[in-house]
Structure 1
């Protein structure tokens, strides 16, 4: 695909080259037959002067170096130039019969003037032809013009498309949280206007997002009061009905808590400290915590059943996997994914490995999997599936959505796929902080 900058540069280059080429060709055509007043008139005056000198005193003219012959000079005639020179000679004195010839391509022109019985006056004519190798000079001239025009066109195209480049760079710098860095309002007027408009747009979008987040948080908090009243009233219902009501209230409470957590994650991550963490240690710590809560989570080792130390609590990692992250946020993301796999997948197995400059965390579960048509929707809020149908189940919330937002904020990515033979595989890729000598 040809960019706008390249098209604009090519258009400017073509315009400049065409104008210079036409101007050069026009000049060469004009200079091919020079004006008689500037070139041939002095030659005509010289011919008339020498002719009068021969007519008055032939011996003195010959002694002065005038060339007199009995016949005209031999060579290839130039009748067009001869007629023009003859008119110029007649315009300043008596008309004289003359001819213009060239003995060879490398010799200058010669003018033969018939002076009757006194002989033929032969006068060398100044060579008014273009210099030899004219086409080579023209080609070199055009190469220089093209080189200069290319530089000018590129500079002009870059300046003309700079506002579009600012927009492109601004969009590329948008983080996973949707925040746009402030663009310096400097440079030409167009660049300042573009930067000012993008900064104003970023401010308005941020204000609108924060407003909606506050609305979600307020709704989550406001739901707790009526849910508390409902719990009190449920106590007076029969046992069977009370269990159903409590199940629905627990689901509402989970949804409200997830909404509030999402708001805290969106608006509060800037205040959380960022430091160097070891991904393997975090995964091991989380696994141990969740096991004490009764969740079935295992860590894969080097041999898939045990590692060199024989301790199942140490995940498979060839070396420390260090990265810059917010520890609390990273733990929250991984905890949500582990709990989701262990709770809804019948148990989880975790593998931690290094893959080039990135860390790879793989979470396998033993659940029934998800229909392929619904895999792209698993990160939507309040969405979970069961085999064969789409349905919001008790406990559904924003766990996966929050995890995805946190992982992408740290420059990582997450994907979910069905395993061969059943179950899901959650693959998390996070960038590592390499040593300075790497």
Structure 2
């Protein structure tokens, strides 16, 4: 799922922060535990010295063989068990008050009393429970983490919104920009150098694109108009030649073929010019278009052509197809779909135009084999040997549809019927 730059940054910041806090928490816990043990150990060593001194002054302490109020005991040991070094370790002892074992830090130290007997002094002191320490530490870290996350999200969100405001202004300008449509060139002063440079570069890029677009547009229009004139003159001269010279059948067929080729060039020239205008967004003006009414008018306008092909056309209205569309493009779109369905239909074939609220289907008979779905909307693609076709009709339809997000045109073949289905996004 795609997210904005702000949330993308915050997401990874939180993940990294969580990892850092987890590592820091482990090190912090080990450090605190080590400090606790050091302090306890220092206290135990100090008590050892004090108790041994007290034993020399009061021999009665040698009879303290169990842990009592002072939390130490002294027991006689054999000479072979005597050790010079003190030992420190952790041990669990049962506590009546809590009715469970509690952790203690224990120090063992061997010494020789004033009677030359070997004695073992064991001192214990209660320590902080590690599980409680972990719980308290975890609670503190969770609270700290939540506070940090909320603070970072709030501060980062505020700073990013403020810092990225110029970026969103530039992005909004790019979204609204269209070729051939005047755009705002008012100077903007940004406090961030990179955004200032980006804004300048985008303005310069738009100006270059506009210049190239204008030059291309002029070239296409000029070339198209320049070609139309000589083609029309040549066609007229061929007509005069056919009418005045009374050519034989062979020459007549030759001239007729040349004339048909020239007419095809005229159609090709017009189609290419139309494609260029559509792709260059020269049909920007839109309004509410009633496709039901326009289909009815087109069927009336093509009545002679339909009768010539002996095709039975039926308009089946199951809904009202109305959309915000350019009227000229709507006529071109529907006209090409209708001509395509009639031209490549069988003699005495059928054409059903099914109109629904969000879909128009052109269902027609024709070739008994399906067309190539992957190629039929490509330019100059022709399936068959029809030399009169420019191969641009369906390409123009697809190009028009691309100008309107949410619209689509698809081809299906079922029960020897060809389907061209025009759909729009639901309002």
| TM-score band, normalised by shorter chain | 0.5 to 0.7
Q: Which residue of 2 aligns with 1:376?
A: 374
Unaligned runs of 5+ in 2: 75-82, 95-100, 116-120
- Aligned twin of 1:417: 412
Distance 1:77 1:9 in 2: 59
- Aligned equivalent of 1:408, options 402, 410, 417: 402
Does residue 219 (structure 1) correspond to residue 223 (structure 2)? The answer is yes
Whole-Å separation in 2 of the counterparts to 1:176 and 1:337? 28
Matched, 1:426 2:425: no
**Alignment gaps of 5+ in structure 1:** 59-66, 86-98, 301-314, 434-438
Please report how far the alpha carbon of residue 325 of structure 1 lies from its aligned counterpart in structure 2 after TM superposition: 1.6
Shift of residue 293 of structure 1? 5.4
Q: Is the 8 A contact 2:102 2:129 kept in 1?
A: no
- Aligned-residue CA RMSD in angstroms? 5.7
Residues 369 and 129 (structure 1 numbering): CA distance in 2 closer, same or farther, change over 3 Å? same
**What is the distance in 1 between the residues matched to 2:232 and 2:50?**
127
Q: Secondary structure at the match of 1:349?
A: strand
Q: Secondary structure at the match of 1:277?
A: strand
The 1:251/1:132 distance shift into structure 2, 3 A limit, reads closer
Q: Quote the residue 1:327 is aligned against.
A: 327
Give the length in aligned residue pairs. Answer: 373
* TM-score w.r.t. length of structure 2: 0.62
Tell me by how many angstroms 1:186 deviates. 8.2
Specify whether residues 137 and 196 from structure 1 end up closer, same or farther in structure 2 by C-alpha distance, changes over 3 A only.
farther
Q: Distance in 1 between matches of 2:368 and 2:302?
A: 22
What do the CA deviations read for 1:147-203 (whole angstroms, capped 9, x no partner)?
67877699989x8xx9xx99xx99x97999999x99x99897777777877776666
Contact 1:76 1:101 in 2 (8 A): no
1:352 is aligned to 354
Contact 2:288 2:322 in 1 (8 A): yes
C-alpha contact (below 8 Å) 1:404/1:414 kept by paired residues: yes
Higher RCO, 1 vs 2 (CA within 8 Å, ≥6 residues apart): 1
Q: Is the 8 A contact 2:275 2:399 kept in 1?
A: no
Match of 2:300 in 1: 288
Whether 1:249 and 2:262 are equivalent positions in the alignment is yes
Contact kept in structure 1, 2:264 and 2:388, CA below 8 Å: yes
Post-superposition Cα deviations, 1:283-327, rounded to whole Å, max 9, x if no partner, equal 122212221555556553xxxxxxxxxxxxxx3233333222222
Taking the aligned partners of 2:145 and 2:359, their CA distance within structure 1 comes to: 52
**In structure 1, distance between residues paired with 2:277 and 2:107:** 102
Query: In structure 1, what is the equivalent of residue 339 of structure 2?
Result: 339
Distance in 1 separating the partners of 2:276 and 2:140:
67
CA distance in 1, matches of 2:103, 2:374: 86
Structure 1 position 275, deviation (Å) = 2.2
Change (3 A) 1:48 1:178: farther
Change beyond 3 A, Cα 1:277–1:205: same
TM-score (norm 1): 0.61
Is the partner of 1:133 in helix, strand or coil? helix
CA gap 1:107/1:324 in 2 versus in 1, 3 angstroms: closer
Kindly report which structure 2 residues correspond to 1:251-290, keeping only aligned pairs within 5 A, or say none. Answer: 251-267=264-280, 269-272=282-285, 274-290=286-302
Shift of 1:211: 4.0
